[in-house]
Each structure stands twice: as C-alpha cells, then as structure tokens.
Amino acid sequence: MFKNYFWRCSDSIMKLIVQKVFLLLFFVSLVHSQKEYPTFDLQSECSEVQFFDYSSLTCKACETNNAVPDSNGICKCRLGYYINQVISSFFTCSACGINYSSTADRKRCLKCTYGFNEETKSCTCPTGHYIVEEYDINEDEYYAVCKECPENSYPSDDLSSCIYCTGDTKPAFVKGKYQCSCFDNILVNKDYCIDEDSMYIIGREFSGIPKITYKDIVGTDDLTSITIESDFIQQNFIEAYMKCDDGENQTACQMLGNLCVLQLYDEDSPACIAYKTAAKKNVGKSDRPNHVPYLFHGLLGGSITELLNTKMGYHFSYANNPIDGYNNTLPLIVAKYDFNGTFIRYEKLTDQFQLCAEDAKKSFSFTRIGTNYKKKCTVNIADEIDKLDTTYFYDIFVVDSSNALLPVPVYIKNNEVDYYNPVIDYVQKYYRRIFFFDIISSQGSDSHIVRYPKEFQIKITQGFENDEFLIPYIIIEYEEEYMSKIFNDDDKGYFTKFKFEVDYIGASSETSFYISMVFMLTFGFLFGCFKAYVWTERNIIKGDGIGIKCLFKWITEWMGALYPCIYLFLLGTSMFYLIFFKNQDAIYVIVPMQGALYILFKVFFIITFSLSLIYILAQIFEQCRVSIFFIDWEKSRGKLYSPTNEELITAPVSVWRTFFLANQWNKLQTFRKVNIPISIVIMVFFLEGLNLRYIASPHPKIGDLSSREPTSIFLLFGLNSLCWFMICCSQMLFRWAIYGRYYKNRMLQFIDLLSLSNISMIIFDENYHGFYVHGRSVHPYADTDMIDISHNLSKEATDLLPKRGFQNTNNILFEIFLTPEFKNVYDNMYSNLQEKILHSQKKQNINKKFNHHQGQSHGMPTFDDDNVLNAYKGMNKFFCLWLEKNIKDHSFSIEERSFVKNILGTPPAIKDSTVFIENSTTTFSNVIFEGIEWNMLIFYSLLFNFIDMFFDDCITAAIFVVVVDVLLVNIRKHFGELNVSHTSLIDWKFLI
C-alpha cells in the first residue's frame, strides 16, 4: 500500500526500507493513541546537521564535532576529516592534511592526484572524469585517481560515480553543471524529450491540451468565467502523459492526476481523459487503480454509497480520558504531494485547511469528536499567497482500527454536477484529491488567475450504533481572481470571506422527532378546530351567514391553538438535545447542524414566530374593539333649591366616580404580572454577563463556557426559552404568593373600587358574549365623605350589611351569554346614541372658529348636546332595570357551569333568556393584556430567539424585545383609551 507513495521518492533500497519502517511505526502509534495523536518529525524537515531518529520520531544532531548524518541517518565525519578514535559507539574526527580529502567511509585520508578544493575539502578531476579510490600498499596511503566516465554518462556531483543518460538524451555540460539533454534532432518539451511523430499523435488524440476554464472568477456583480491557454499545462501534460503511459513512472502518473485536479475534474479535459485511460489500464482492488492516483470514486465500478456507509472502525467517547477501546478524536491524516507528483509527507489533520486565526488551544478543537465547529472570517488572500512557493495537493484519509487507510470522499461545490448510476442511485459526485490554493495552472498565459478556498466543510455522520461514526466527507468551494487584482498597486491586499466548518449528522433522533412533530401538529390542528367550533357556538345563530369576520376568527382561533403546540414541540426538542447532548461521556445524540431536522426546525420556528405575531396583533385589535359600559347605581339625595327658579330641582349625581373608574380601567388594560424590561435585563445578565449563553455551543461539555464558536440553534433555543420562562415564572410566583397576597392585587382592588363607587361594569367582547362585574354598593350612598365611607366599611366588615353578591348569590363576577333579542336592543340603542354623538360633533365643528376667537378652552368635551346626555342616562337606566329584572321581555338566569364545561369553555344552551354563569375568577381579564400574557411571553421568547439567531447577539435581541414591548403597550394603550371613550361615552379628554 505504501509503495505507491514512496517508490518515486527512493534514492536507494535502504532509504525505501527505512521509510516503510517509519510509516509503519507512525500508523501503529497513531491508531493506538486514545487521547491525542503523537507529534512527529520527518526526515525532510531535519536540518543539514541533523538526522531523523526513527525510534523517537524526532530530529537529532550528531554528538561528534565535525560529523554530519548521511542519507541513511548515520553520523560520519565531514569531508576532509577521518575517524581518529572509537570508544564504544562514540568517535572523534580529525582533519586530514593539505591536498588531502577523506575516503568514502571516512576511515582514512585520501590524497588528491589531480587537484584539491580547499573550500570543500574535496579532490577535483578533469571534465568528464570521476574519482576512483586506489590503495598503495608500499606507501600505505589512499590516492584519488581520475578516470573518464563511459560513453553516454557524466560524473555525479561528488565525483564518486557516473550517471547514465537514458532514452533520447545525451550528457551535456550546461552552466557549470552536467545534465542529460535531448539530441539535436529531437523536440524539447520542458525537460522531456519527445520525437515529432509522438508529438503529432498526442495532438491528434487530445485537442485543446493547454486550455483551462475558470468558471468562478469574482466579478463586480456576479461570478464570471473565462477559458485561457496555459503554457504550464501544455508542457507538463505531454511529459506526464508520455511517462505515465509507459506504465513505469508512478511520479508522472501522479502529476497527470494533479493536472486533472487543477481542471476541477473536468471529465472533458485532456488531463482527465488521459488519467482515466491510464487508470483503466491498471485496475487494482476494489475501486482503486494500481500505480495511478485514486481520484474518482466509482470509476472502476466501486460504490460511493458503500464507502460513505463504512464505519471508521472505532468506538468513540466524549470523555476527556476515555476507557480502553474508545477514542475521542478524529483519526484523520493528510498525504501531501508536490505538483510533479513527489510525495512529501503524511500529516495529521490540524490547521492545514484553516485560514481563520485561532489561538493554539482552539485551532485543533474541531478534531475533538462530537464538536460541531464553525468559523467565519475575512482573509487577506495576498498574504496567504505570499506564504506559498507552489501548489500542493492533498489526499485525506481515515486511519481505521486495523491500520488501513480509508479514503475520505471530497465534493467540490463549484462543479455542482449530479449524475445517475443505477448502482449507487442519484448522488452527488465525489472525488479524492484536492488543492487548497492554485497559483500555477495559469502560468505562462496572458491572464494569471488564482484559485483560493471560499469554504471548507467536514461532514461526519453517526452510525447505527450510538458510539460509532461513518467515514466523513469533505465539501470544498473555490473562488477565482486575477493575480493583478490581488496584488494591486495600493498594497492594501485582497480580502475575501472564508468559512471552515465541521458538522456532525445524527441519525438516532429522527424517528422520535417526526413522531412528536406529527402528534403536536395534529393536536394543535384539532384543538384549533375545537376553539373555532366553540367560538361559532357563541357567536353564530341559525340564519346567520358565514362572512369574512367569521373566517377571520376561525383562522385566528386556529392560529392561537396551533402555534403554542408547535412552540412546545420546538421547546421539547431543544430541551432534549440540551439535556442529553450536554455533559455526556458516552455518545447518545448528536446535535444537528444541517440536514432535514435542522431545516425543519428552522422552518417551524419561523412559522411559529409568524403565527404568534399575527395572533398577538389580532388579539390587540380585538381587545381594542370590545364594548364597555359603566352602570352607575347611585341615587339622587333629594331636591335642591334653585335661586333662579322657585321650583325644587333633583340633586345631581356626581360623574367623577365614573371618570375615576374609567381611568383606572384604562391603566389596567396594559397591566401584566411580568415586567418585561426587568426580565430582559436579568436574562442578559445571565446569558452574557455570566457567559451561560455558551452552554449552547455545539460541544458536549456543559461546563466549558469559554468557547466562542457559533451556537447551535437547537441548544440556543432551549437555553434562551428556559432562561426566559424561569425568570417570568419567578415573577408570577412572587406576585401570586407574596406581592398579591400581602401588598397589592391590582385586579381585586379594581373590583373592590367598583363596589365602593356603586358602579358596575359590563363588557361585550363578542356578538353574544361578555362579562359582568357587579359593583352595586350595599351602602346607602357612595358619593359621600371620608367619614361615611369609613363607617360603611366598618359595618360591612362586621357583617352588619348584606353581601355584595348579585341576585342573592355570593358572586360578583359573571360570564354572560346573551340572547339575540337583547343584543339587538342594545345595538339599536348604541347606534342611535352614536348618531346623536356624530351630530353633536358636527355641530361643534361649525362653532370651532368662533370658540377659538372667544378664547374658549380647547379641552371642552367632544359632545355636550342634551340629547346625547339624555341618551346616555337612558342607556344607564336600561341596564339598571334589566339587571333588577324589571324588563319582562329580556329576562336572565344565573347558572353554574360544570368543571368540564368550565375547562372547555363551551357555551350553555341559550333559549329565551340571557344566561349569567357564576365565575370565581377574573375571566374578564381576557379583554386586557393580562388575559393574553402567556401568549405574549411565548411571542417575546420567539422574538428574542429570532433576533439572537439572526444577529448572533443576545444584547441586540434584548433591545429588540424591549422596543417591541414598548411599541405594543403604547398601541394598546392609545387605541384602548379611544375605545373606552367611544363605548363608555366618556369623553377621551377625561382619560388621563
């Protein structure tokens, strides 16, 4: 397996054996490491005075002065020095005299017979000669004898041997150095010789050899494409094809494969056609060709789906110190190649494909199993290109538990090519080898274009067993730009966005997710239908048609039932991942960062947010349209003497009690148990101040709050919602258990104030439905002084007065279900009254200029016509008579509703009389903010999550929530105040 990579790099048999031993040691140590892969050095990375120690996998220096390592890692004396003294494994080097070099084994000095290089301490020979060491027995001395090299050969650089020129080449001395050159009658292509016939055959077989197409050049508005002719591809293709076609030069086949990779696997390009031809000539095991790089999955009949479903061969764990047999890091390595096909080294996958700057602790954090990682940044491409000397190519592998190298498939988004194969079904096309930067493919052309990465993603899928994972796959996308634009004259650089991402795809929770989703959607739909049915029973009678208003209410009732169910489903899903993913050592679940679950979660989240927004606005609209009337039970105290009239007049009843209660009700309309701004401040303190927000980072350690990776939508939604409702429920509990019991209960105080003021309140929120709060006082008069009020309250406290209950009951709160006849009477009275108000307003507009000229107050009532005031008194009297059962045509009955009907909210059977349902709770709060407080809390939770996920900033989300809350409160307050004025016939100027 290793022969494919090291054959072309070998200089000698010994070097090949040593490299094989090194790779075997490396792979064994890599696989059996549980916590972290060992660090290692390679011989190519050691300095000239160091050698590679294969036992410790490190570079070491020779202990002896004037000693350097040879190609086999053995220390020996420098040229011009010989081994003088040997003690055990230690030796010393002594210098030879003038005109003396040293023998190849460095055991003796070598006398130069032709010439001596003082600088290099080496013997010299005439041109075309090499050195032969000869021993003179008489002199006991070694001599450097110069002998001429045989025909068609030239001396090596150290003059120790002769090198033969093969094929159509001959020795030549060029620029002070020997090399093999083509004969005069042979064409030269780069440094490869080829005859005219072969050149003609290649040109006929492959058309458009130098052409390369760049499809993703960054333009001003959109990506553009261009096709150019590259001298670099022209020259290297001919050499690679000819050498690879012989079937012996594996390095040339590697270079041919690299040319295909530079074409982004364009199957119509000559490089890829030639590669496929060579691969099919050298069919190996499975899908891999022999002596040719493995580039295309499925080329030789293999199955990509089989590879993608192959396990990595490990049991994985999230634990810092996993038990024996378990691993906690990704066993990925990278094989690095030069363009000419030379294998450079194996490297463990660290930051080779990471352009975003990270500190040392976090740069490799993505290799920890189960860590969803995402990093986005802006990169200066000019700086990155300056660091490169050429283009490098990479094969990525998984080292499985049996020491085998499993290829990691690569999908190039630039191609966006799908194909159909009946064996592997309809899948995306995957490849093997990639480059990170391409700075060479357009060399020699008029337009020098550079390819650079736009995004790099690693996708890892969980296996059928919880603690196993399948072979990952890579997704890479490139962008292209002209070199002239990258290195422009302003020296500011060329900046672009880059994304590095590692996603884990779980498979264990999909079934339960879909079952829960279907259940909650079905329940929400059925519950919405039931709510629409109940509303229809309350508001639609026989003979009434189904109009737009009815359809609107059906839709809003359905939305009001559906979105809380979807919200609970989303919250339950998030809490599932938050509880079972965080702080687990054994692997049970994986937080989705893509795929069907991720998309469905986001879709349902947006749908839920939209439904909640529409429902809240609809509820505010409905609340601002309810009919409210204050029924004053106060009687006149008698007759008063008028100095302008000899007749006695009836003492008027003060209207200030009604004004006061209307203002209190106006304030109560926006009252809630939860203080939104304070809740938001507390939430930001916990999430941002205490860094609890980073519990939602997609890694399994719940205690690691230092991470700054992008958060998971699943974890963040659950965390934000949990924090929000814990804060809100704490406030509600405090108001219920302490504040409302021992200090102030706004709703009960308002009800007491109604009774103390001798005023009842009736509310009609629907056609035939409403609420009645009985406020008729048990005291003689409510319009009195402080002393009388105090005495009256004392009598009531000592049970000297009857109960406040309505119609001999102990209840003062009732839910009303009206008959159509009574509602028609009320509507007629109200519409007549509105006509008189409108007439009065027109009358005032005529006198507006005159009033302004006379300097009269602009705060005068909107209507002051006697007809209007008399109509108001008439409506007040009508309600008083009706509630005292003095109107025979419109009777009513008082009933108790069963527990089940009270929970379901189903209306009673309405026959000939209105029904009053006794209610011990303040159900009329449904017409104010307190009645929809839970709906608003869910909406604010969704709004906070929506903004937080969009901007990735909880402080911005908090500001949005506070602004929206202030906006909704002011809208409700303004239009609610106008509605109170409009329906209760109290001029809005008296509402403060």
DSSP element (H, E) containing 709:
none
Least confident of 90-94, 169-173, 247-251, 389-393: 247-251
CA dihedral 72, 74, 80, 85 (to 10 degrees): -160
Alpha-carbon span 307 to 431, nearest angstrom: 12
pLDDT > 60? residue 610: yes
> Mean of the pLDDT values across residues 698-708?
74
CA dihedral 103, 108, 109, 111 (to 10 degrees): -70
> Mean of the pLDDT values across residues 798-804?
75
Alpha-carbon span 985 to 871, nearest angstrom: 10
pLDDT > 80? residue 474: yes
Tens digits of per-residue pLDDT, 40-88?
344 445 666 676 554 344 567 776 667 877 766 678 888 899 988 766 5
pLDDT (0 to 100) of residue 844? 65
> Mean of the pLDDT values across residues 888-917?
84
Tens digits of per-residue pLDDT, 659-694?
999 999 999 999 999 999 999 999 999 999 998 998
- Which of 543-547, 850-854, 930-934: highest mean pLDDT? 930-934
Alpha-carbon span 315 to 126, nearest angstrom: 66
Which of the pair, 28 or 982, is modelled with greater confidence? Answer: 982
Residues whose CB is less than 8 angstroms from the CB of residue 180 and which lie 6 or more positions away in sequence, other chains included: 154, 165, 166, 169, 170, 171, 172
> Mean of the pLDDT values across residues 813-817?
91
| Predicted confidence band of residue 133 (pLDDT cuts 50, 70, 90) | very high
Tokens 């580039």 found at: 295
Q: Are 155 and 130 in contact (CB under 8 A)?
A: yes
| Predicted confidence band of residue 34 (pLDDT cuts 50, 70, 90) | very low
Cα 155–chain centre separation? 64
pLDDT (0 to 100) of residue 921? 66
pLDDT > 50? residue 33: no
Q: Are 730 and 674 in contact (CB under 8 A)?
A: no
pLDDT above 90 as % of the chain: 31
Furthest C-alpha separation in the chain: 168
Tokens 């027995």 found at: 137
pLDDT (0 to 100) of residue 297? 83
Tens digits of per-residue pLDDT, 707-727?
666 788 899 999 999 999 999
CA dihedral 812, 817, 821, 827 (to 10 degrees): 70
Rounded mean pLDDT of the chain?
Answer: 82
pLDDT (0 to 100) of residue 37? 32
Alpha-carbon span 257 to 262, nearest angstrom: 9
CA dihedral 801, 807, 813, 815 (to 10 degrees): 180
pLDDT (0 to 100) of residue 922? 61
Give the DSSP per-residue string, 761-828. Answer: EEEEEETTEEEEE----SSS-SSS-HHHHHHHHHHHHTT-S----STTSS--EEEEE--HHHHHHHHH
Q: Are 777 and 633 in contact (CB under 8 A)?
A: yes
Tokens 């990278």 found at: 334
pLDDT (0 to 100) of residue 591? 83
Which of the pair, 364 or 330, is modelled with greater confidence? Answer: 330
| Predicted confidence band of residue 859 (pLDDT cuts 50, 70, 90) | very low
Strand pairing report for 326-327 and 315-316: parallel
pLDDT (0 to 100) of residue 507? 67
Least confident of 157-166, 593-602, 736-745: 593-602
Given strand 769-773, what is the order of strands in its sheet?
627-632, 759-766, 769-773, 813-817, 914-918, 892-895
pLDDT (0 to 100) of residue 505? 81
Residue type, 67: A
Alpha-carbon span 863 to 628, nearest angstrom: 18
> Mean of the pLDDT values across residues 344-367?
80
pLDDT (0 to 100) of residue 562? 93
Which among 328, 221, 212, 196 is positioned nearest to 264, based on CA atoms? 212
Strand pairing report for 141-148 and 332-337: unpaired
Residues forming a β-bridge with 427: 419
Cα 608–chain centre separation? 19
Which of the pair, 422 or 968, is modelled with greater confidence? Answer: 968
pLDDT (0 to 100) of residue 829? 87
Cα 126–chain centre separation? 71
Residues whose CB is less than 8 angstroms from the CB of residue 925 and which lie 6 or more positions away in sequence, other chains included: 747, 931
How far is residue 857 from each of residues 62, 243, 660, 851, 854, measured CA to CA in Å?
A: 107, 105, 22, 8, 9
pLDDT (0 to 100) of residue 447? 81
- Burial of 834 from C-beta contacts in 10 A (0-12 / 13-18 / 19+): middle
> Mean of the pLDDT values across residues 632-646?
73
> Mean of the pLDDT values across residues 963-983?
93
> Mean of the pLDDT values across residues 535-548?
79
Which of the pair, 361 or 351, is modelled with greater confidence? Answer: 351
Residues whose CB is less than 8 angstroms from the CB of residue 26 and which lie 6 or more positions away in sequence, other chains included: 40, 57, 346
Alpha-carbon span 199 to 684, nearest angstrom: 73
Taking the model in full, what pTM does it have?
A: 0.72
pLDDT (0 to 100) of residue 862? 55
| Predicted confidence band of residue 640 (pLDDT cuts 50, 70, 90) | low
Coil vs helix vs strand at 229: strand
pLDDT > 90? residue 969: yes
> Mean of the pLDDT values across residues 105-127?
91
> Mean of the pLDDT values across residues 188-202?
71
pLDDT (0 to 100) of residue 439? 92
- Which of 71-80, 407-416, 607-616, 949-958: highest mean pLDDT? 607-616
